[in-house]
């Protein structure tokens, strides 16, 4: 996280938000944070690697929240593979 935020390195450190979003959506499933990090780094195009970390954290913090994700407001709802997507905001 420090490498990405402070030094501009194209790293994707996996915190609780990113871990949840990656698994829930099917974007980069993994049994632990390291597996998710490797999966995200493998599928993220180089041009988006620096921003991906921040975008995924914000998505998990404000839209794809832990208890009741705001699927009705979600801009990636059509791409998300979460079988329990809600229809109400």
Residue selected from 4, 22, 24, 36 as contacting ligand SF4 according to rule CB under 6 A: 24
- Residue 37-66 contact track with ligand SF4, rule CB under 6 A, x = bound: --------------------------xx--
Q: Based on CB atoms, which residue is closest to ligand SF4, 50 or 85?
A: 85
SS (H, E, C) the chain: CHHHHHHCCCCCCCCHHHHHHHHHHCCCCCCCHHHHHHHHHHHCCHHHHHHHHHHHHHHHHHCCCCCCCCHHHCCCCCCCCCCCCCCCC
Least spacing, CB of residue 8 vs ligand SF4, in Å: 27
- Please report, as ranges, the residues that interact with ligand SF4 according to CB under 6 A: 24-25, 63-64, 69-71, 74, 76-77, 80, 82, 85
């Amino acid at each position: 996280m420090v490498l990405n935020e402070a030094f501009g390195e194209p790293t994707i450190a996996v915190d609780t938000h990113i871990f949840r979003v990656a698994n829930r959506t099917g974007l980069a499933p993994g049994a632990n944070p390291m597996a998710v990090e490797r999966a995200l780094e493998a599928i993220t195009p180089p041009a988006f690697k620096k921003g991906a970390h921040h975008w995924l954290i914000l998505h998990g913090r404000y839209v794809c929240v832990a208890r009741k994700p705001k699927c009705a407001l979600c801009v990636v709802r059509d791409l998300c593979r979460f079988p329990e997507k809600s229809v109400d905001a």
